[in-house]
Structure 1
Amino acid sequence: MIKNSSLITEKVKDFSLQNIENIHGFFMNFQNRYSGDNCLLDVEFIIKDKEKQWISCFRFYNPNRIHFESGGIYHQLSLQIYDISDRGWENKKYEVIDYEDDTLHFYCTDIEVISVREIL
């Protein structure tokens, strides 16, 4: 489901989405590629392990219907990602939500971990 998730599992052995505690950064950019326009959403999440913390950047491809609410610099969440490809919706393969407070919700075509770094 999530490409390059091994970047996280190499550092956090029993990684699950419940290890994600909050959002560190939220960046959207648009790119004009050879075959058309693309939108990318990069979200940096704080991941907690037993003794360490990590910042992991997840890239969401072609996000749409983005709903994001934040009350300040600390945005706690309970992340869940659903594979909805069986619904056959155009440009909507995954649904990403904050299942407790509903402060984050969007759809995307692909998900990739692009970096993981330890917080010192």
Structure 2
Amino acid sequence: MAIKFHPQWKIADPWYTQRYGSYQVFLDSVNQQQIMAALWAANGHFRGQPWVTEILQDAASTSQHSYDVTIEQGVHQPESYAGEDGFILHFTMRNSRGRAYHLYVKQKDNGALTINEISFMRNGAQVQVFYS
């Protein structure tokens, strides 16, 4: 399988916890199956950015020839979020090409996660791609 989970993916990063304190929200109740199901369901729904297409295809692939993706950090509140509209949650994923992505999620009433936005940095600027 092309999806790997960092050994400490479900542990809040102490650096962020110390820096942001109670502001940093980290959900340790999300499991690997929920993350994998959200990735598979998102495949084909993010268009226009080849890097996003490639990482979702890598995650959904069972081919030995695909690149691996690693879930580095579990579902948590973005460190820079300071809005007043509730929580925005994402998880961090990196592919074996070295590119890192933030995948923003919503949770359905049945507990399933859906990915509604994927962002990454390109040439020092954040690129956002939305579910379509």
TM-score by length of 1: 0.36
- Structure with more of its chain in strand, by fraction: 1
- Structure with more of its chain in helix, by fraction: 2
Ranked by relative contact order (alpha carbons within 8 Å, sequence separation 6 or more), the top structure is 1
